[in-house]
Structure 1
Amino acid sequence: MRLHGPVRWWRMARIAIIMEILPVDQDVNLEELIKKIKQNLPEGFELKDTQIRPVAFGLNLIKAIFIGPEKEGVTQELENYLNGFEEIQEVTVTMETRL
């Protein structure tokens, strides 16, 4: 087979996933947890931004923006990864958008 003209490689689309990550209790060091999350992210993901926000009575959560490949099951893959941390009680996806 012969191709005529320039060959273009298309990069897979990317998505932004905004999540709220609730720790098991107020004693969890959220800065250390963010570092742990960054260290072993699944392939193709990056942690773009984080904010620590108060919830109630001294309990804070992490609001995080992840960038990942647009493919089926990508959000579930990220949720499963985060739920594997013993310091995390709950993960909520608040928004997902194509970049």
Structure 2
Amino acid sequence: MGKVYMKLRVMPEDVDIDLEKIYEKIKEVAPENVEIKDYKIQPIAFGLKALLIVAVMPDEGEIGDQLVERIQNIDGVESVEVEATELL
């Protein structure tokens, strides 16, 4: 069984949302076998920024869907988009 690399774009509900706090919450709610490898805050437009997350997880079941669902349930998160997935 391999590992899956997943790149996610997390959009906040408002320009005033602290993306560093959202990142910390993502690390807390991630399933135990998901490793959050990296993140970046990317300017979008008019003060709006997106949080880009890189996660590595085992290639099993619905673990990626679980991660996305848990992130969507964090207060202050508007949406989560999977930008890329790759089998390592």
Q: TM-score normalised by the shorter chain: which range applies?
A: over 0.9
The 2-side partners of 1:47 and 1:62 are apart by 13
| 2:37 counterpart of 1:23 | no
Unpaired segments ≥5 residues, structure 2: none
Question: In the alignment, is residue 81 of structure 1 matched against residue 56 of structure 2?
Answer: no
TM-score in terms of structure 2 length:
0.93
- Counterpart residue identity of residue 34, structure 1: Y
**Aligned equivalent of 1:4:** none
Cα deviation, residue 75, structure 1: 2.1
Alpha-carbon separation, structure 2, partners of 1:63 and 1:70: 21
Tell me which residue corresponds to 2:24. Answer: 35
**CA RMSD across the alignment:** 1.0
Between 53-62 and 36-45, report the one with greater CA deviation: 36-45
Hey, what's the Cα distance between the residues in 2 that align with 1:76 and 1:54? 26
Aligned residues: 88
Deviation at 1:88, TM superposition (A): 0.5
Identity of aligned residues (%): 28
User: How does the TM-score come out when normalised to structure 1?
Assistant: 0.83
Instruction: Say which one has the larger Rg.
Output: 1
